[in-house]
Structure 1
Amino acid sequence: MKFLFDMIPVLLFFACYKIAGMNADASQHFINTYLSGIISGGSVTPEQAPIVLATLVGILATVAQIGWIKVRGRKVDGLLWASLGMFVVFGGLTIYLHDEDFIKWKLSIVYWLFAVVLLFSDLLFKKNLMRQSMKEIIELPDLIWTRLNLAWIAFFTFMGALNWYLAFVLFKGNTDAWVNFKAFGATAIMFVFIVGQTIYLSRHMKDQA
């Protein structure tokens, strides 16, 4: 359920981009009429309108997501706050400058930020964040916690590099293809990784039994 909850902003971003793309002239009119104050030059082209609207919806969805967590009296994960901060900065630049490159960079930087936080929390503060987040659910040997942390560091590093390659090399100039990857490709890779991780951890939990 948490995985699906975390995916809400991504799915809304995708849906908004596709709907706005199918109604580009109407999207342009809406932005130029109601959002001109936050747009450099006060207007966008029909081609720029979908990514601008989708980015705005993604930011608002992430804010609402955090608000929902707070209303329910739960602690907001630090990585979610960081993700929101990056979304606001790079998404804000995307909206203001109506330049899609910023939101594409945002995804890579968020992945790399997660990797850096996991790495340096362990190296500098001797704090395994994967263990901190999962220790109430499962018990594992110290070595397995270390491997799990390293696996997520490697995964986030890889995903950041993959996003950069797809956004600026393979799909350069093809925002539709990149949005499809962001919504489905990245999600599928994450799902497969989590399933593989679960299988691996279950073996070690059985060993402890």
Structure 2
Amino acid sequence: MKQLAEFLPIVLFFVVYQLNGDTLNIGGWSYTFDGIFSATAVLMIATTLQVGITWLITRTLERRLIWLLLAVCLFGAATLVFRNQMFIQWKPTIFNWVLAVIFGASQFIGDKNLMERTLGTQLHLPRAVWTRLNLLWVANFVIVGALNLVVAYSFSEEAWVDYKLYSAIGFTLVLTILTALMIGPHMKEPEASDQ
């Protein structure tokens, strides 16, 4: 459920982008959607609301969500102020590459990598599996960041917006499946109690 909530701002970004040129009339007020700039404003608002609602419900926030909110607001504001979509197009790359550096560095800092620190209380896996799992996530962040730039610079803005929506869902699904495949063989069945 949490992952679905995190996709909502991206979906709203996509939907508002599709309204480019349309005019919304409410009472005596009207607004004409201007493509990526309206979509960026909605992304900023939706991400802020999503993080705020998450905090209201759980009374905690993951650092990743805080960094995501800061990145969306920083790059979104730059996009709107300078009227240049490249700022928001670079946001996914920079965010993913920063995560890659953090996860990668965690292999060498302390006695547990970031995956083990995050999930170690819930899962008991051999050290080698934690290492492979952490490196899988590092590879994912590097690849997702690089592909974002390839699409941003090689294709149209509209193609990038489509890619942003579908790749976010696709890469998350693939990463989830690969993570489950790595963890699965090490999961133990609960022992049946003697009757």
Q: TM-score, normalised by structure 2?
A: 0.87
Change (3 A) 1:73 1:3: closer
Provide the aligned length of Structure 1 versus Structure 2.
187
Q: How does 1:145-184 map to 2 (within 5 A)?
A: 145-169=130-154, 171=155, 174-184=156-166
Q: For residue 187 of structure 2, give the secondary structure of its aligned residue in structure 1.
A: helix
Residue aligning to 2:31: 30
Counterpart residue number, 2:98: 113
Name the counterpart of 2:4. 4
Equivalent position to 2:37, from 43, 46, 52: 52
Counterpart code for 1:181: Y
Q: Which residue of 2 aligns with 1:188?
A: 170
The answer to whether the Cα contact below 8 Å between 2:100 and 2:141 also exists between their aligned partners in 1 is yes
The yes-or-no answer on 1:123 pairing with 2:108 is yes
CA-to-aligned-CA distance 1:183-209 (integer Å, 9 cap, x gap): 012321221221122122111224998
Per-residue CA deviations over 1:118-150 (Å, capped at 9, x if unaligned) read 122332344422122222432211111111111
Which structure has greater strand proportion? 2
Query: 1:14 matched to which residue of 2?
Result: 14
Distance 2:185 2:116 in 1: 17
What per-residue deviation string (whole Å, max 9, x for no partner) do you get for residues 20-78 of structure 1? x251x669x737xxxxxxxxxxxxxx7xx211111111111111111112112332111
1:115 corresponds to which letter in structure 2? A
CA shift in 2, pair 1:74/1:180, >3 Å: same
3-state SS of the aligned residue for 1:124? coil
SS of residue in 1 equivalent to 2:58: coil
1:203 matched to 2:188: no
Instruction: After TM superposition, list the pairs within 5 Å mapping 1:41-120 onto structure 2.
Output: 49-120=34-105
Pairing 1:124-143 to 2, within 5 Å after superposition: 124-143=109-128
Separation in structure 2 between the aligned mates of residue 168 and residue 138 of structure 1, nearest angstrom = 41
Identity of aligned residues (%): 33
Q: Which runs of 5+ in 2 are unaligned?
A: none
**Range with bigger deviation, 90-99 or 184-193:** 184-193
* Alpha-carbon RMSD: 2.3
Change (3 A) 1:127 1:75: farther
**Matched residue of 1:30: which SS?**
strand
Q: Secondary structure at the match of 2:106?
A: helix
